[in-house]
Structure 1
């Protein structure tokens, strides 16, 4: 939907038509101020987060355990809880 809005705003810019933000907002189901932000170059929030996990430091150990046949994720989780405790694993 954002791509359609961006395309419509680009067409209006190329034809030197001033966009009616309120009408476009009703058409695309968003606030007129959001439409104006997109018209001024807003790209939207990033889909990816660069936030780490508590388990990043145990990644290799978890992979090694999961490589063993007939081992489940729940089993690895229980093993990690017993080994490191609830406070470190979560």
Structure 2
């Protein structure tokens, strides 16, 4: 698959906009089915693995309501089994 086509379609996927396949096909000089295939591939690729933070979301939210710092939240969930990095929690 052409990289420029994939990048063009990625914009629509990230913005959650259903593209006009025929219009994009004219832009990139390809068939509309090729655009549709690229769109579906990119869309399927974004539904990847879950975040390392997912099992700890409720804990993090409750700690944020108590105005805890990112460092203290990181240390707390690390004791509970979190294996990710501090920057993941901080962001």
Using structure 2 for the length normalisation, give the TM-score.
0.45
Task: Give the structure with higher Rg (CA).
Answer: 1
Using structure 1 for the length normalisation, give the TM-score.
0.45
